[in-house]
Amino acid sequence: MFYGEFSHTLDRKGRIIIPARFRESFKEHYAEKFYLTRGLDTCLFLFTEDEWRTQESKFKNLSFTKPEARQFNRLFFSGAAEVVCDKQGRILIPAYLKQYADIKREVVVVGVSNRIEIWAKENWKMFYDQSKGSFEEIAEKLFDFE
């Protein structure tokens, strides 16, 4: 559903524009409400409402007797903000999420199939530079290509 990498800049009010390609996908799937939360590797995750509900059902089935499950759920759900795109296709990133992701001004918006990730530009560059060399090795470990 979401694919590609796009560079954007926060405006003075802390909003970013969602790439047009992603907004087209929103329209195709009748998505109007989204959930923005703490992601992994210091990025933010943006989910459509339907995908959020899917993820929520997975996470709420984690055993609350396990400390890691409680900790993850607390951080993931307490960080969530319901957002909608304005008429210009922008969303507001709350200050606490900008702080978590170390977002100042320049961002990279990345489509990762069922979610959108929002990265501070410097963090994305560092992640990409560290990861690109092991792309094939990771693929060999995860997949059985024939």
Per-residue pLDDT in tens (0 to 9) along the chain, 146 residues: 899 999 999 999 999 999 999 988 887 777 789 999 999 999 999 999 999 999 999 998 888 899 999 999 999 999 999 999 999 999 999 999 999 999 999 999 999 999 999 999 999 999 999 998 888 888 888 887 66
132 domain residue, yes or no: no
Q: Note whether residue 140 is domain-resident.
A: no
Q: What is the pLDDT of residue 27?
A: 77
Q: How far is CA 1 from CA 24, 75, 116, in A?
A: 10, 26, 10
13 phi and psi, to 5 degrees? -95, 5
Q: Is the distance from CB of 15 to CB of 93 less than 8 angstroms?
A: yes
Q: What is the CATH number of the domain that holds 108?
A: 3.40.1550.20
Judge whether 51 lies within some domain.
yes
pTM: 0.90
90 lies in which domain range? Answer: 2-121
The total of structural domains in the chain comes to 1
Please indicate, yes or no, if residue 6 is contained in any of the structural domains: yes
pLDDT at site 26: 85
